[in-house]
Amino acid sequence: MSRLSESVVRAMEILKGSDLAADYTVARLLEETYRRRSLDLSDLSPAEQAALVEGRAINVIPSASGLAEKITAAQAEGRSLVVKYGIDPTSPDVHLGHSVPIIIASRFQRMGHHVVFIIGDVTAKIGDPSGRSSERPPLTDADIAHNLSGYQQQVTPFIDFTRADLRFNGEWLNKVSLPELVGILAHVPVSMTLQRDDFRNRLAAGDGLSVAEFVYSVVMALDSVAITADVELGGVDQLLNLQMCRKVMEIREQTPEIIITTPLIEGTDGTGAKMSKSKGNYVGLSSSPDEIFGRVMSIPDHLIEPYLKQLTEWTDEEITTVTGRVADGTAHPMAVKRILAGEVTAALHGLKAAEAARAEFTARFSKRTFGEAQNLPAVSFQEHAETPLVTLLTQVLGFAASNSAARRVAAQNGLRLIAEGVDGEQHTTQLDEGSTQQALSALVGEAELTGEATFYLKAGRKIARIDV
Amino acid sequence: MSRLSESVVRAMEILKGSDLAADYTVARLLEETYRRRSLDLSDLSPAEQAALVEGRAINVIPSASGLAEKITAAQAEGRSLVVKYGIDPTSPDVHLGHSVPIIIASRFQRMGHHVVFIIGDVTAKIGDPSGRSSERPPLTDADIAHNLSGYQQQVTPFIDFTRADLRFNGEWLNKVSLPELVGILAHVPVSMTLQRDDFRNRLAAGDGLSVAEFVYSVVMALDSVAITADVELGGVDQLLNLQMCRKVMEIREQTPEIIITTPLIEGTDGTGAKMSKSKGNYVGLSSSPDEIFGRVMSIPDHLIEPYLKQLTEWTDEEITTVTGRVADGTAHPMAVKRILAGEVTAALHGLKAAEAARAEFTARFSKRTFGEAQNLPAVSFQEHAETPLVTLLTQVLGFAASNSAARRVAAQNGLRLIAEGVDGEQHTTQLDEGSTQQALSALVGEAELTGEATFYLKAGRKIARIDV
């Protein structure tokens, strides 16, 4: 029995029989599954390794059995596979969506293979136009350096960089000559590049598709040639780019790499849009534990299962057990979501931070008292007694971006004044749109104030304590 | 009055008043017009220079006045224009069609500008696909060296290579790095490349258009950047490529060159197809004087005017005069064609060779005796008395490509046995299809043979002497 199987046995025991809302149970469970993120998987057979990868992939091309054979052949040669993951540092922030293929990279690393991160300092200047409807301005060297600076740190929770390579593709691409590139382009049919829907759409729309974007995939394929990649990982939106890598390796008479694509996870808003920074429906890898926990808690229930699949080391068996318990009513979806939020927070900040975030979240958003919450922002009554509520929300607390946004929260019944007694009993006053113009003193004066109660101001999901 | 104008005055005198079929007249005329091929044109004003170029061009972009201004500006700077003409050595033979832009290059050279021939040793390996419906196999270095070896010699009659540059684009293209090329491609819209009908057609047909062909025009545009061209010449089929040169020079912040395109001349067969080696309707620059003269004589009358325009240094005034004389019946088209054939032959082999070719042609194909023809192939009667006629025509003389082709010539009344007496009197026997199976002795025996006659075998326009 492999180390992974042993862990699954222990976790299944918890998952099947315990109260998944109980703090103690969850702590034990997370401890078990969190440990898997650094579990040595080298005791898995080639077929088990391939299965562990395929189970979370959309494509394994040419096949998972081909991957198993490649692992077997490499073992016979006494070497590990070279696993490529390329990133173009086109944005300073990495989010959970980016971590999906990186988690697969982490599995390869723990299975004993060699992960090479390729930083596309040259390709970033071309800009892969996937999913964009128009051209992106080319990045400067300063942009790239800035974007890259945080990248490694943000990805470190998933990858042991002491055992992985981090290489810049300028290292070889700057040395490629025009005749060499053109010699490769001579074997690449235009039809292969025009398979991309976004290219065809932009051409049809008369949009400024540049010839550089057209050759992008060939250029990034040279990375695979340079490191003689055995395997490449990427989001499924990279499928055509990855197939070009296989094509170019063939042109250069190398064995084409096996390509593995992973799903694009949906954003936290649950609208079906993929997670992206521009849509604001993302969880940043550099966010604080509380932010991460809260963001994951905000997802709709139907995303619990795909998030468990793509963001944790849970097996299908474990996920099926949990969803079964939700279905038969022995576990509440909210409880499972808390476990998921703990998983994600632990992955990025460790178990203790995850537990603290869980407690904080519970205190803040559950039926517990606000008094238990540690990190609430506070506003001084003495200082702001005469400040209009709208100013408090926008300028002092930053709970609303503008006066109109503050009024909108009120109009949607999201603005409340809550008095909490020492016994935890709460008295809530819903504030209407008009009250945003009133001063704090007028509002608190209206409430039934006793010396023993603490006042809280709640705007949407944001809460602040009023220190009298 | 410029040197050219003086020459025109002298030629016009001949063209207007003389018998254009008379050998003496033609010799005087050719001497005058042939001399123009090396006439110093530097006494022309910038406007006259531009007009001399524009008069034989299809496009002058942005304009002929722009060209005149550029010449004026260069003169003010004390420099001459850099005039680019690029060739990819994709074929060992150059024909009259290729000479059309080269004749314009020659004019630039004689106007005092600096002509740079760019030999596309790198671009030849991509292969510009103009007018081809499918991909050409890439050329090897050996192909290129072979193709190039004859090129300079074949073009030498038009260009003084002691004053022109001959440069290989590998000199700079081999040094262009991938990021540099891609940086330029980023500013080139795909739509500009897709303007080519042949690209669009091949894409629509699912034909294997390669990405290398797609970037060809950008690569050849780097030649203009490398030599900072002021002017570029090319056939009108190169228009889109030349426009890319302007675009890329702009991207590289150079003043875009002026582009000048020349017509594609029709093939000698007069079917309207452009002159091309694959169609066999061409006049090779390396052909013998007799071949050149004969080939030009074979063109239909309607090509006389365009050939005079594109292949000689005649002015519009002179051409109009000649065509006027044909129209009013004071000159026979055949006489003008002989002048044209003399012009072309003289251009490539000099005046004396042109005169000899004219005499030879007259002897062979006119009403003169065959005995005056110098270079007729001969077949020995003693050796081939028993050889069937068909074998003589195919294997011995090479007058027909196959037995069926030989029979076809007979069926079309093109096969004749001609006995010519010492007095020049000819007795012709038309041979029918059946006689192709007969032996030479049977045919000659049937003819009225006297010891004084010489026998000739005529198959279509080809003639051989039978040596008894």
Cα of A155 to nearest chain B Cα, Å: 28
- Greater pLDDT, B417 or A53: A53
pLDDT band at B35 (very low <50, low <70, confident <90, very high): very high
CA nearest neighbour of B127 among B78, B198, B77: B198
Strand spans (E) along B187-262: 231-235, 258-262
pLDDT over 80 at B166, yes or no: yes
Mutate to test the interface with A, among B211, B213, B222 (most CBs of A within 10 A): B211
pLDDT over 80 at A30, yes or no: yes
- Smallest Cβ distance to B182: which of A126, A189, A206? A126
DSSP category for residue A140: P
Q: Are strands A114-119 and A82-87 parallel, antiparallel or unpaired?
A: parallel
Closest CA in chain B for residue A204 = B191
CA dist., res. B186 & res. A126, Å (int): 7
Residue spans of the domains in chain B: they are 1-36+265-368, 57-262, 378-467
pLDDT, tens digit, for every residue of A136-145? 566 777 888 8
B233 has which bridge partners? B85, B260
- Greater pLDDT, A426 or A156: A156
The helix or strand, by DSSP H or E, that contains position A100, with its residue range, turns out to be: helix A96-110
Q: Do domains B1-36+265-368 and B57-262 have the same CATH topology?
A: no
CA nearest neighbour of B330 among B1, B7, B17, B62: B17
Q: Are strands A454-459 and A462-467 parallel, antiparallel or unpaired?
A: antiparallel
Cβ contact B173–A178 (<8 Å) = yes
pLDDT for the residue numbered A127: 60
pLDDT band at A133 (very low <50, low <70, confident <90, very high): very low
Cα of A166 to nearest chain B Cα, Å: 21
Cα–chain-centroid distance for residue A200?
30
pLDDT band at B131 (very low <50, low <70, confident <90, very high): very low
pLDDT, tens digit, for every residue of B400-425? 888 888 888 888 777 888 887 766 67
CA dist., res. A299 & res. A307, Å (int): 10
DSSP category for residue A435: G
For A127, the token pair is: 């800009």
Cβ contact A173–B179 (<8 Å) = yes
Closest CA in chain B for residue A173 = B178
pLDDT for the residue numbered A366: 60
Cβ contact B177–A175 (<8 Å) = yes
SS3 A340: helix
pLDDT for the residue numbered B86: 93
pLDDT, tens digit, for every residue of A71-88? 999 999 999 999 999 988
DSSP category for residue B275: P
Q: Check: CB of residue A444 under 8 Å from CB of residue A392.
A: no
Q: Check: CB of residue A391 under 8 Å from CB of residue A443.
A: no
Assembly ipTM: 0.73
- Smallest Cβ distance to B191: which of A181, A203, A219? A203
Q: What percent of chain A is predicted at pLDDT more than 70? A: 93
Cis peptide before B62 (omega within 30 of 0): yes
SS3 A432: coil
pLDDT over 70 at B135, yes or no: no
User: Could you tell me the maximum CA-CA distance found in chain B, to the nearest angstrom?
Assistant: 83
pLDDT over 50 at A361, yes or no: yes
pLDDT band at A241 (very low <50, low <70, confident <90, very high): very high
- Smallest Cβ distance to A185: which of B175, B179, B215? B215
CA dist., res. B10 & res. B39, Å (int): 14
Helix segments in A115-210, DSSP class H: 123-126, 141-155, 170-173, 178-185, 190-193, 197-204
Q: Please state the rounded mean pLDDT for residues B100-127.
A: 91
pLDDT over 60 at A449, yes or no: no
CA dist., res. B300 & res. A397, Å (int): 92
pLDDT band at A455 (very low <50, low <70, confident <90, very high): confident
pLDDT over 50 at A130, yes or no: no
pLDDT over 50 at A158, yes or no: yes
Cβ contact A177–B179 (<8 Å) = no
Q: Which residues in A lie closer than 8 A to residue B187 (C-beta atoms)?
A: 210
Cα of A119 to nearest chain B Cα, Å: 15
Count A/B contacts: CB-CB distance under 8 Å: 128
pLDDT for the residue numbered B365: 67
CA dist., res. B230 & res. B84, Å (int): 8
pLDDT for the residue numbered B278: 82
pLDDT over 50 at B14, yes or no: yes
Residue A90 backbone phi and psi in degrees, to 5: -95, -5
The arrangement of strands across the sheet holding A59-61 comes to A59-61, A258-262, A231-235, A82-87, A114-119, A165-168
Q: Are strands B415-420 and B454-459 parallel, antiparallel or unpaired?
A: antiparallel
Q: Which residues in A lie closer than 8 A to residue B169 (C-beta atoms)?
A: none
Q: Which residues in A lie closer than 8 A to residue B122 (C-beta atoms)?
A: 178-179, 182
pLDDT for the residue numbered A369: 65
Residue B82 backbone phi and psi in degrees, to 5: -95, 115
Report whether CATH 3.40.47.10 matches the domain B57-262.
Answer: no
pLDDT for the residue numbered A460: 78
pLDDT, tens digit, for every residue of A277-311? 888 899 999 899 999 999 999 899 999 999 999 99
Cβ contact A126–B219 (<8 Å) = no
Cβ contact B209–A219 (<8 Å) = no
pLDDT over 80 at A418, yes or no: yes
CA dist., res. B28 & res. B179, Å (int): 60
pLDDT over 90 at B168, yes or no: yes
Cα of A460 to nearest chain B Cα, Å: 46
CA nearest neighbour of A435 among A395, A464, A382, A392: A392
- Mean pLDDT over the full length of chain B: 88
- Mean pLDDT over the full length of chain A: 88
Cβ contact B181–A178 (<8 Å) = yes
Q: Please state the rounded mean pLDDT for residues A445-461.
A: 72
SS3 A86: strand
CB within 8 Å of A98: residues ≥ 6 apart? A87, A155, A285
Q: Which residues in A lie closer than 8 A to residue B206 (C-beta atoms)?
A: 191
Q: What percent of chain A is predicted at pLDDT more than 90? A: 54
The answer to which of A174-188, A192-206, A385-399 has the lowest mean pLDDT is A192-206
pLDDT for the residue numbered B291: 93
CA nearest neighbour of B435 among B454, B451, B413, B450: B413
- Smallest Cβ distance to B181: which of A181, A199, A213? A181
Architecture of the domain delimited by A1-38+282-368: Orthogonal Bundle (1.10)
Cα of B255 to nearest chain A Cα, Å: 22
pLDDT over 90 at B123, yes or no: no
Q: What percent of chain B is predicted at pLDDT more than 70? A: 93
The one-letter amino acid at A305: E
CA nearest neighbour of A339 among A15, A35, A52, A100: A15
Q: Please state the rounded mean pLDDT for residues A353-362.
A: 91
Cα of B119 to nearest chain A Cα, Å: 15
- Greater pLDDT, B399 or B6: B6
Closest CA in chain A for residue B189 = A210
The arrangement of strands across the sheet holding B378-380 comes to B378-380, B462-467, B454-459, B415-420, B426-430
pLDDT, tens digit, for every residue of B42-53? 999 999 999 999
Q: Check: CB of residue B287 under 8 Å from CB of residue B297.
A: no
- What is the distance in angstroms between the CA of the first residue and the CA of the last residue of chain B? 62
pLDDT for the residue numbered A131: 41
Cα of B231 to nearest chain A Cα, Å: 25
CA dist., res. A116 & res. B324, Å (int): 79
Q: Please state the rounded mean pLDDT for residues A100-110.
A: 97
CA nearest neighbour of A158 among A68, A204, A94: A94
pLDDT over 60 at B167, yes or no: yes
pLDDT, tens digit, for every residue of B315-351? 999 999 999 999 998 999 989 999 999 999 999 999 9
pLDDT for the residue numbered A134: 43
A258 has which bridge partners? A231
Helix axes B23-35, B351-365, angle to 10 degrees: 150
Cβ contact A185–B125 (<8 Å) = no
pLDDT for the residue numbered B128: 52
Q: Which residues in A lie closer than 8 A to residue B128 (C-beta atoms)?
A: none
DSSP codes joined into one string, B363-422? HHHSSS-GGG-SS--EEEHHHHTTSBHHHIIIIIS--SSSHHHHHHHHHTT-EEEEEE-T
SS3 A392: helix
Cα of A192 to nearest chain B Cα, Å: 9
User: How many degrees, rounded to 5, is the angle at CA A202 between CA A201 and CA A203?
Assistant: 90
The number of residues in chain B equals 468
CA nearest neighbour of B223 among A268, A286, A178, A15: A178
Mutate to test the interface with B, among A135, A175, A178 (most CBs of B within 10 A): A178
pLDDT, tens digit, for every residue of B183-222? 999 899 888 888 877 777 887 777 678 888 889 999 999 9
- Smallest Cβ distance to A219: which of B182, B189, B206? B182
Q: Which residues in B lie closer than 8 A to residue A126 (C-beta atoms)?
A: 182, 186
Q: Are strands A82-87 and A231-235 parallel, antiparallel or unpaired?
A: parallel
pLDDT for the residue numbered B133: 37
pLDDT over 50 at B395, yes or no: yes
Q: Please state the rounded mean pLDDT for residues A367-377.
A: 70
Q: Which residues in A lie closer than 8 A to residue B188 (C-beta atoms)?
A: 210-212
pLDDT band at B269 (very low <50, low <70, confident <90, very high): confident
Can you identify the CATH homologous superfamily of domain B1-36+265-368? Answer: Tyrosyl-Transfer RNA Synthetase (1.10.240.10)
pLDDT band at B134 (very low <50, low <70, confident <90, very high): very low
- The Cβ of residue A242 has, within 10 Å, a number of other Cβ atoms equal to 27
pLDDT for the residue numbered B70: 97
> Hey, what CATH class is A378-467 in?
alpha beta
Q: Which residues in B lie closer than 8 A to residue A206 (C-beta atoms)?
A: 191
User: How many degrees, rounded to 5, is the angle at CA A72 between CA A61 and CA A217?
Assistant: 30
pLDDT band at A459 (very low <50, low <70, confident <90, very high): confident
Helix axes B211-227, A178-185, angle to 10 degrees: 160
DSSP category for residue B135: P
pLDDT over 70 at A372, yes or no: no
CA dihedral sign of residues A12, A14, A17, A23 = negative
Compute chain B's Rg from CA coordinates. Answer: 26
pLDDT for the residue numbered A270: 84
pLDDT over 90 at B178, yes or no: yes
Q: Check: CB of residue A304 under 8 Å from CB of residue A337.
A: yes
pLDDT over 70 at A335, yes or no: yes
Cα–chain-centroid distance for residue B20?
24
pLDDT for the residue numbered B412: 77
Q: Which residues in B lie closer than 8 A to residue A171 (C-beta atoms)?
A: none
For A251, the token pair is: 């042109």
The answer to which of A125-134, A147-156, A345-354 has the lowest mean pLDDT is A125-134
pLDDT for the residue numbered A132: 44
Place of tokens 């699954």: A8
CA dist., res. B123 & res. B133, Å (int): 19
Cβ contact B186–A212 (<8 Å) = yes
Q: Please state the rounded mean pLDDT for residues B6-34.
A: 93
A439 has which bridge partners? A388
Cα of A336 to nearest chain B Cα, Å: 48
Cβ contact B210–A122 (<8 Å) = no
